[in-house]
Amino acid sequence: QETGSIIVILATDAPLSDAILRGLARRAGLGIARSGSPGGNSSGDIFLAFSVADDMPAPPHAGPVITRHSLNWDELDPLYQAAVEAVDESVINAIVQGEDVACVKPEGKTCHGIDTARLMQVMAKYGRL
């Protein structure tokens, strides 16, 4: 049973609308799944995405409506793919670089970091390096 949670924050300088950013944030779950987590029922995962592309204030006397630029919906697949790959890589990096830590749930248990030397031996044995 899943007992943990993960927070993913995706930042980009691509000009994206709020609707596209919501779609980008949803891709974080795919990146986590690529690393082996099903995102269990009790998992409290949070995925956020933001863009720093459009930081210009509205011009003076702009009126009630302003125009913002955003990527075309038809051009988003590479960006979505990059988000999935970035999250997947982040999870793998966290697993490989993790150290032993005392768990909160269940109390008293220790989650051990991966022995990277042993991992390299296993990967070499199966031609995965």
Q: Quote the CA–CA distance of 101 and 103 in Å, as a whole number.
A: 6
Q: Is 37 a catalytic site residue?
A: no
In this structure, are residues 51 and 14 in contact, taking their beta carbons and an 8 Å threshold? Answer: yes
Provide the β-strand partners of residue 50.
11
Task: Please tell me which residue in 17, 35, 43, 90 is annotated as part of the active site.
Answer: 43
Q: Is 45 a catalytic site residue?
A: yes
Residues in the chain: 129
Task: Please tell me which residue in 35, 37, 45, 70 is annotated as part of the active site.
Answer: 45
Task: Please tell me which residue in 5, 13, 18, 115 is annotated as part of the active site.
Answer: 5
Would you please indicate which residues are annotated as catalytic (active-site) residues? 5, 43, 45
